[in-house]
Amino acid sequence: MPKSTSLRHLIRRLRELGFDGPYSGGRHLFMCKGELKVRVPNPHAGNISAALVSEILRQAGISRGEWNKKR
């Protein structure tokens, strides 16, 4: 399971993996890659939990190995 992370790090990594955004839309921000749209949690003071990061990666079709790869 991925570690908890900051919103800034999550957005940076998703951009490195080919996503555009974040864009505002309704209650949550979202990021796009082609037809795929992934919701990003609202920015709060704390980190995003490991469970939520894992769920976002599952929806985005990103493997754990791909997420952990250093650039």
Does the residue 27 lie in any domain?
yes
Check residue 34 and give its pLDDT: 93
What are φ and ψ of residue 9, in 5° steps?
-65, -40
46-62 pLDDT per residue, tens? 889 889 999 999 999 99
Does the residue 1 lie in any domain?
no
- Containing structural domain, residue 30: 7-68
Check residue 1 and give its pLDDT: 65
Check residue 71 and give its pLDDT: 58
Does residue 71 contact residue 14 with C-beta atoms inside 8 Å?
no
Does the residue 32 lie in any domain?
yes
Sign of torsion, CA 28 32 35 41?
negative
CA–CA separation, 38 and 62 (whole Å): 11
What's 11's domain CATH number?
3.30.920.30
14-50 pLDDT per residue, tens? 999 999 999 987 888 899 999 999 999 876 778 898 8
Does the residue 61 lie in any domain?
yes
Check residue 22 and give its pLDDT: 93
In the chain, the number of structural domains is 1
Does the residue 2 lie in any domain?
no
